[in-house]
Amino acid sequence: MIAAPDPEKMFQVSRAELAVFYRDVHSLLVDLELLLGIAKGLGEDNQRSFQALYTANQMVNVCDPAQPETFRVAQALASRFFGQRGGESQHTIHAVGHCHIDTAWLWPFKETVRKCARSWTTAVQLMERNPDFVFACSQAQQLEWVKSHYPGLHARLQEFACRGQFVPVGGTWVEMDGNLPSGEAMVRQFLQGQNFFLQEFGKMCSEFWLPDTFGYSAQLPQIMRGCGITRFLSQKLSWSLVNSFPHHTFFWEGLDGSRVLAHFPPGDSYGMQGNVEEVLKTMVKNRDKGRTNHSAFLFGFGDGGGGPTQTMVDRLKRLHNTDGLPRVQLSSPGRLFSALEGDSGQLCTWVGELFLELHQGTYTTHAQIKKGNRECERILHDVELLSSLALARGAQFLYPAAQLRDLWRLLLLNQFHDVVTGSCIQLVAEEAMCHYEDIRSRGNTLLSAAAAALCMGEPGPEGLLIVNTLPWERTEVLALPRSGGAHSLALVTVPSMGYAPAPAPTSLQPVQPQQPVFVVQETDGSVTLDNGIIRVRLDPTGCLTSLVLVASGREAIAEGAVGNQFVLFDDVPLYWDAWDVMDYHLETRKPVLGQAGTLAVGAEGGMRGSAWFLLQISPNSRLSQEVVLDVGCPYVRFHTEVHWHEAHKFLKVEFPARVRSPQATYEVQFGHLQRPTHHNTSWDWARFEVWAHRWMDLSEHGFGLALLNDCKYGASVRGSVLSLSLLRAPKAPDASADMGRHEFTYALMPHKGSLQDAGVIRAAYSLNFPLLALPAPGPAPAAAWSAFSLSSPAVVLETVKQLRPPGAARPCWPPAPSGRQSEAHLFSLPSAVPAAGAGGPPHRDPAPGVVSVEGFGGSWLLPPLLNNKPVTQEPRHSSACALPQGLSSGGRGVGHDQSLACAGSGLQTAPHPHPQRLGISVTTSWLRGGPDGGGGSLASQQLSSDWWPCWELWTGKAVGTRCLGRGVYTTSEAVPSSESWPQGLGWSTPVALWSPRLSSRCSQLGLSRPSAASPRSATKKFKFIHL
Residues labelled as active-site residues:
212
**What one-character DSSP code corresponds to residue 426?**
H
**What one-character DSSP code corresponds to residue 841?**
P
Beta strands in 686-842 (DSSP E): 690-691, 695-700, 703-709, 714-718, 721-728, 740-752, 772-779, 785-786, 789-790, 795-802, 827-829, 832-835
Beta carbons within 8 Å of 40's beta carbon, 6+ residues apart: 49, 276, 277
**What one-character DSSP code corresponds to residue 843?**
P
Q: How far apart are CA 1016 and CA 449, in angstroms?
A: 33
Q: How far apart are CA 443 and CA 441, in angstroms?
A: 5
Q: How far apart are CA 657 and CA 706, in angstroms?
A: 10
The continuous run of DSSP H or E covering 641 comes out as: strand 636-644
Q: How far apart are CA 529 and CA 512, in angstroms?
A: 17
Q: Residue 814: is the preceding peptide bond cis (ω within 30°)?
A: yes
Give the CA radius of gyration of the chain: 31
Q: How many CB atoms lie within 10 A of CB 268?
A: 17
Q: How far is CA 206 from the centre of its chain?
A: 17
CA dihedral 109, 113, 115, 119 (to 10 degrees): 150
178 to 185, 221, 693, 902: CA distances (angstroms): 11, 12, 12, 32
Q: How far apart are CA 517 and CA 477, in angstroms?
A: 12
**Does the CA dihedral 489-492-497-499 come out positive or negative?**
negative
Note whether 863 and 1027 are within 8 A (CB). yes
Note whether 249 and 282 are within 8 A (CB). no
Angle in degrees, CA 942, 946, 947, rounded to 5: 60
Is 1024 buried (19+), middle (13-18) or exposed (0-12) by CB count in 10 A? buried
End-to-end alpha carbon distance in the chain: 57
Beta strands in 523-589 (DSSP E): 527-530, 534-538, 544-549, 554-555, 565-570
Q: How many CB atoms lie within 10 A of CB 513?
A: 16
Three-class SS of 935-988? CCCEEEEEECCCCCCEEEEECCCCCCCCCCCCCEEEECCCCCCHHHCCCCCCCC
**What one-character DSSP code corresponds to residue 629?**
E
Note whether 399 and 804 are within 8 A (CB). no
Q: How far apart are CA 628 and CA 608, in angstroms?
A: 7
Q: Are strands 608-616 and 527-530 parallel, antiparallel or unpaired?
A: unpaired
592 to 569, 616, 649: CA distances (angstroms): 10, 8, 13
Is 662 buried (19+), middle (13-18) or exposed (0-12) by CB count in 10 A? exposed
Q: How far apart are CA 676 and CA 657, in angstroms?
A: 16
Q: How far apart are CA 630 and CA 526, in angstroms?
A: 19
Angle in degrees, CA 328, 334, 339, rounded to 5: 60
Q: How far apart are CA 373 and CA 388, in angstroms?
A: 23
